[in-house]
Amino acid sequence: MTPQTVYSTEAKPKPPKLLDQVREKLRLKHYSIRTESQYVQWIRRFILFHGKRHPRDMGASEVEAFLTHLAVEGNVAASTQNQALSALLFLYREVLNSKLPWMNEMVRAKRPARLPVVLTQAEVQAVLSRMQGVPLLLAQLLYGTGMRLMECIRLRVKDVDFDRLEILVRDGKGGKDRVTMLPQKLAAALQQHLTWRRALYQDDLGAGKADVHLPHALAIKYPGASTQWGWQYIFVAASYSTDPRSGVVRRHHLDEKQLQRAFKRAVQAAGFAKPATPHTLRHSFATHLLQAGYDIRTVQELLGHADVATTMIYTHVLNKGGRGVSSPLDILQ
């Protein structure tokens, strides 16, 4: 008797979709949720632009056509075009495992050299005087420490040392940590804010929602750390939200748009024509330190610049003129 062939009724699992593969690889390499969102968006637009063809069937000519479309039809900035290129190179290198020569030959758009917008000390004072509450405290921190916007928004309780008047900026641009000063004038206001923040934390703890996002694999290495006071964000949202990656409902850090809107209103109320944003306070911090005579290497360290040439841009905006040099015309008697 011929044995019957037994067929498995179990369906083979479908391979993950391309964009899901992109998300998995980005998370594996610890890219931020913002970068993940932007990269996925650019890859989706690239696929749709070429009639939903699979990227594996496309190459350099299709990438160049898409980037040209962004520049000519979309009129995007060089930085935006470069971000789209970075997303596509990540797709081919990290997800599709392509190591083709054309990938190293792609030329990035040249970003125009722009001098940063800087406020004078009087202008900074005028803007800050028109702000209040948490947005004021955040703006004062940006100007008083030189931090980037999201570095300030993501500060955690344990990152502030009141005894040493220091702030540890963790995982800044390029994944680097650095130390900057805590202005003595802000110590009392920040401690008062933390008193309020601790009471809110106790409420969250009682509700079972004091869990906070931890970077990388720290949540696995230290299981109880996510609910500890030291790991809590200093500046938090007014309500709970769902983590887009884990699905956990918890209190996230403050939305940076709240500060951006409050700052814009203050600049408009002050009557300034300068296109100042919260990041302008970082530029003003660096410029005013150089004006006060501090060494450029010290300013470089406080800003977290890898190359002193990046910090040198602030010598162009000092009140003394280009590179801090007096004009010979001013010397004539």
Which residues are part of the catalytic machinery? Answer: 148, 173, 279, 282, 305, 314
Pairing of strands 236-242, 160-161: unpaired
- Which long-range contacts (C-beta less than 8 Å, at least 24 apart) are formed by 327-332? none
In this structure, is the dihedral angle defined by the CA atoms of residues 271, 274, 277 and 281, taken in order, positive or negative? negative
Residue-wise DSSP of 62-121:
HHHHHHHHHHHTS---HHHHHHHHHHHHHIIIIIS----THHHHPPPPPPPP-PPP---H
Name the token pair of 76.
């995007």
How far is C-alpha 137 from the chain's CA centre?
19
Name the token pair of 287.
């410029």
Tell me if 259 sits within 8 A of 282, measured CB to CB: no
Name the token pair of 84.
């789209």
Strand arrangement, sheet containing 178-181: 160-161, 166-169, 178-181
Q: How far is CA 222 from CA 67, 202, 207, 215, in A?
A: 44, 20, 21, 11
